[in-house]
Amino acid sequence: MVRSERHPSVYFAIRGAKIGDIAKIVVEKPYKYAKHYLPHDARAKTLAAAGKSVIEQLSEYLGINNMAIVPDLSVQDGIQAVRQMLPQCWFDSERTHDGLEALRQYQREYDEDKKAFRQTPRHDWTSHPSDAMRMLAIAWRLEPKVRPPDTVKPLIVGPENTVTLNDMWATHKPTRSSRL
């Protein structure tokens, strides 16, 4: 999906494509990927793929060490993970318009007989983009947080910078602490 030559879409959805075609699109993106996260059912082997799972098929293109499986959490746990992640997200509204619209319209279905909302969201065109966002949020939550490296602050004293900590301690008068 491309909105214009100037602003290629960041949100991408495809149906009925071969694994090789999908992998090619991913590899051609101008990103450096640390890891590719796949949904929990990517381990399932299918007859249509000669008994290979999605992760096995993708490993031929992306490398098995670059992939991980997202844990199989409940839909509600995934929704909570998205809610925790959203305040830290920034979206380019033009380049992600369709994906954002799917997230906006993702909703639970009302059960007229029980006069209450069902436990699971309505399954419609918003399901797959929203499922992808849930997988992202779960994977993001599991990733170790990267701390910025500690900055080394050199001690600079005087124009020549010739004073050492030992020199400073030698001139320091110890103070007495009184204990109550």
* DSSP secondary structure, 100-156, as one string: HHHHHH--EEEETTTTEEEEEE--STTHHHHHHHHHHHHHHHHSPPPPPPPPP----
User: In the predicted model, is pLDDT for residue 145 greater than 80?
Assistant: no
Distance CA 118, CA 164 (A): 70
Determine the 3-state secondary structure of 90 from DSSP. coil
Q: What is the pLDDT of residues 69-84, one digit of tens each?
A: 999 999 999 999 999 9
Q: Predicted confidence band at 154 (pLDDT cuts at 50, 70, 90)?
A: low
DSSP-derived letter for residue 171 is H
CA dist list (Å): 174 to 41, 91, 163: 66, 56, 19
Q: Predicted confidence band at 158 (pLDDT cuts at 50, 70, 90)?
A: low
Task: Give the chain's mean pLDDT.
Answer: 82
User: In the predicted model, is pLDDT for residue 156 greater than 70?
Assistant: no
Query: Global pTM?
Result: 0.67
Q: Angle between the 97-105 and 127-142 helix axes, to the nearest 10 degrees?
A: 100
Q: Give me the pLDDT at residue 4, please.
A: 36
Q: What is the pLDDT of residues 39-53, one digit of tens each?
A: 888 888 876 677 888
Q: What is the pLDDT of residues 1-35, one digit of tens each?
A: 333 344 455 677 788 888 888 888 888 888 888 88
